[in-house]
């Protein structure tokens, strides 16, 4: 039976910094929850409270106690106490785009030469635990915790309880042994899930709850754990805790970070897909969804705008009554949702569907490119990159779509009628007017053998042939969402051009992105071109670096999306972070990015693939997750994304506050040279 190893740290009493009042209470409550959830037969806790929680003791607790967790076990660090910051070493510019590292303040920190526990040390230590095969999670209820000072108690007698940032960058000799000779021991990716009380530029707060001082985040998270039950995912817990924190504290935005999937239950377990990327929740005496005008929701519209709960059971709709920048107010229609719950919702009715479509029998299409005979779909191709140069390729096949079961025995006329009805009901497609001068975006063609082919404006297939009208319309909606993400823009924004998106050549010996090397310049067609090289008789994919350069005098939040040719959207290159004033950030934390053809696609001369990189820049934070969608074969989550889905994971601004945003795009063409080269 798998075990849970827990290191519980709660520090109110410090040796060299001001005390706190609720951190130990948080730690005690966290351990009580774990006991009730896991049971004493599987839970192995180690408690470090107040003066016990020295720097050395916390480090040893991670190494020797959490380090006992093996394959299929879970290791959890729950820290409640002060957090702080320190200047980042110059060589970490690609990791720390704001120029600061975050710290946990141990009980003896800053007594003499004893430093804080730096986030980079914590990353190395917890990654070593994960290397044993354990599921590793960390809950940090401290200021600056998304990167790890609790603030002040919001009451009349409150006094500031801030710990001033360290005056200098960490000295090598003060770090754990793995980092004393440099930063090479830092894990390239995170193998843990982090639930943090706030952003790296914010303060966490504590306040009286039932006359007991508590950290707002710890209280909110434990409340969510008890309300949502043992199967709640990290993403669901973060959303619920965020609601409670926003009701009690200003300018505190809980965060969920880490490279492990967020749709995994707390303390580990089987992954399950989120039913939707948009959440309806009760906040400030009203119901709202976390999608607004900057996410593509129209601020003014001529017709109805509606959502509905994306879950089995009776239809539970809601009408959108107002749209602000980052969220929208909704009114449940004909049902009474539970204010203590959060509901995944999907857009069910839009006033302006994205793409026009027509429906045809194959015999109606007689253009030169519109063959009615058997046809094997050959494109567009999807790049498996850009991604980390040493990472695995992903499968991009579409076999699942082509084998989707379709209704048997349907006549061509019946299929055409079914297609027409489904398109007419789709929130992302609309039937084109019967005007010969109007060219539809998509044409759905019923084939003699019972399949359906989707053609683009040029008459060429844009997807593999499908079986079943439902599968074909879902593919059309998938394409519509991809196109709308690509078209996302905010015309006239003063932020236009504020952050430069740059592709930087990788020279021999480069292991991390250079800060000052000039970027590659696009050609006359606006494209960056990279080529495969022939090495030892084998074609090798090119690698480069992606750099983001903030040219303004203020911090800006950035997310970098990759839109591939097979209608996938992902944010793995730069999922979201603030880039400090006049500073730079880098994709994959500065590691090389490989641009390559899809897995299984031979590198034949002349083969090429496009990756459209879309950078979204904003004055405040927003979430990247709702943008993401898989390839056309990943259509099991029907309606999981809005037409353009961008949510504030936990914005600090008031729901009605406006903040500016902009986008910029760059397309990279990766090609195998067509010229002959010696092997």
pLDDT in tens, 163-190: 677 778 888 888 999 999 888 888 887 7
Cβ atoms of 586 and 92 closer than 8 Å: no
The confidence score (pLDDT) of residue 11 equals 95
Classified by CATH at the fold level, domain 4-257 comes out as Rossmann fold (3.40.50)
Cα–Cα dist 262/78, whole Å: 18
The confidence score (pLDDT) of residue 391 equals 35
Decide if 278-349 and 499-619+660-671 have a common fold: no
Domain locations in the chain?
A: 4-257, 278-349, 358-487, 499-619+660-671
Q: Which long-range contacts (CB under 8 A, 24 or more apart) does 90-96 make?
A: 91/183, 92/120, 92/183, 93/515, 93/583, 93/584, 93/586, 93/590, 94/512, 94/513, 94/515, 94/584, 94/585, 94/586, 94/589, 94/590, 95/186, 95/589, 95/590, 96/147
The confidence score (pLDDT) of residue 652 equals 29
User: What DSSP state is assigned to residue 233?
Assistant: B
Cβ atoms of 467 and 630 closer than 8 Å: no
Task: Select the CATH number that applies to the domain covering 278-349 from these four: 2.40.10, 2.60.40, 3.40.50, 1.10.3470.
Answer: 2.40.10
| Superfamily for the 499-619+660-671 domain | Immunoglobulins (2.60.40.10)
Q: What is the DSSP string of 33-93?
A: HHHHHH-TTTEEEEEEEGGG--HHHHHHIIIIIGGG--TT-EEEEEEES-EEEEEPPGGGT
The confidence score (pLDDT) of residue 138 equals 94
Burial class (CB in 10 A: 0-12, 13-18, 19+), 452: buried
pTM > 0.85: no
The confidence score (pLDDT) of residue 545 equals 97
Residue numbers in the chain where pLDDT is lower than 70: 1, 146-163, 247, 259-261, 270-277, 293-296, 299-303, 325-326, 349-354, 363-412, 434-438, 491-492, 626, 633-659, 675-679
């Amino acid at each position: 039976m798998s075990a849970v190893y827990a290191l519980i740290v709660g520090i109110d009493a410090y040796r060299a910094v001001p005390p706190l009042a609720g951190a130990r209470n948080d730690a005690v409550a966290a351990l009580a929850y774990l006991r009730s959830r896991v049971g004493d037969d599987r839970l192995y806790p180690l408690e470090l409270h107040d003066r016990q929680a020295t720097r050395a003791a916390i480090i040893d607790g991670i190494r020797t106690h959490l380090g006992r967790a093996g394959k299929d076990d879970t290791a959890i660090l729950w820290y409640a106490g002060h957090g702080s910051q320190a200047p980042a070493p110059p060589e970490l510019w690609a990791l720390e785009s704001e120029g600061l590292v975050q710290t946990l303040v141990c009980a003896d920190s800053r007594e003499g030469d004893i430093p804080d526990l730096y986030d980079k040390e914590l990353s190395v230590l917890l990654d070593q635990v994960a290397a044993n095969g354990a599921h590793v999670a960390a809950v940090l209820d401290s200021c600056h915790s998304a990167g790890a000072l609790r603030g002040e108690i919001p009451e009349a007698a409150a006094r500031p309880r801030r710990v001033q940032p360290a005056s200098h960058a960490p000295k090598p000799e003060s770090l754990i042994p793995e980092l004393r000779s440099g930063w090479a021991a830092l894990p390239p990716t995170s193998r843990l899930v982090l639930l943090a009380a706030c952003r790296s530029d914010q303060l966490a707060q504590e306040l009286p709850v039932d006359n007991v001082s508590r950290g707002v985040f710890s209280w909110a998270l434990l409340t969510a754990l008890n309300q949502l039950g043992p199967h709640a995912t990290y993403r669901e817990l973060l959303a619920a805790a965020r609601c409670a924190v926003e009701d009690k504290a200003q300018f505190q935005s809980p965060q969920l970070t880490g490279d492990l999937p967020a749709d995994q239950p707390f303390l580990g377990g089987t992954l399950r897909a989120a039913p939707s990327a948009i959440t309806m929740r009760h906040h400030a005496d009203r119901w709202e969804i976390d999608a607004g005008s900057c996410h593509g929701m129209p601020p003014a519209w001529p017709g109805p705008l509606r959502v509905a709960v994306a879950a089995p059971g009776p239809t539970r709709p809601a009408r959108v009554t107002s749209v602000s920048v980052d969220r929208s107010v909704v009114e449940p229609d004909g049902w009474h949702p539970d204010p203590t719950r959060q509901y995944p919702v999907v857009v069910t009715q839009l006033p302006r569907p994205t793409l026009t479509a027509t429906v045809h029998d194959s015999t109606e299409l007689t253009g030169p490119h519109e063959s009615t005979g058997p046809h094997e779909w050959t494109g567009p191709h999807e790049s498996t990159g850009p991604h980390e140069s040493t990472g695995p390729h992903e499968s991009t096949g579409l076999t699942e779509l082509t084998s989707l079961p379709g209704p048997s025995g349907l006549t061509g006329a019946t299929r055409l009628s079914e297609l027409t009805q489904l398109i007419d009901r789709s929130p992302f497609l609309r039937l084109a007017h019967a005007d010969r001068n109007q060219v539809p975006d998509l044409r759905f063609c019923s084939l003699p053998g019972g399949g359906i082919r989707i053609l683009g404006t040029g008459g060429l297939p844009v997807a593999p042939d499908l079986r079943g009208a439902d599968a074909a319309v879902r593919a059309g909606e998938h394409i519509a969402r991809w196109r709308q993400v690509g078209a996302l823009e905010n015309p006239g924004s003063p932020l236009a051009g504020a952050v430069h998106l740059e592709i930087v050549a990788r020279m021999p010996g480069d292991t991390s992105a250079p800060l000052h090397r000039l970027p590659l310049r696009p050609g006359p067609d606006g494209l960056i071109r990279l080529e495969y090289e022939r090495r030892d008789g084998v074609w090798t994919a090119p690698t480069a670096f992606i750099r983001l350069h903030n040219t303004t005098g203020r911090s800006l939040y950035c997310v970098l999306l990759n839109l591939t040719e097979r209608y996938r959207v992902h944010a793995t290159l730069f999922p979201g972070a603030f880039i400090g004033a006049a500073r730079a950030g880098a994709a994959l934390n500065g590691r090389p990015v490989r641009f390559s053809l899809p897995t299984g696609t031979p590198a034949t001369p002349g083969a090429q693939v496009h990756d459209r990189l879309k950078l979204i820049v904003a004055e405040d934070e927003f979430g990247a997750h709702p943008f993401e969608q898989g390839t056309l074969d990943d259509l099991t989550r029907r309606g999981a994304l809005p037409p353009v889905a961008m949510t504030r994971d936990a914005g600090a601004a008031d729901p009605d506050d406006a903040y500016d945003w902009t986008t910029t795009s760059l397309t990279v063409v990766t090609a195998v040279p067509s010229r002959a080269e010696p092997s």
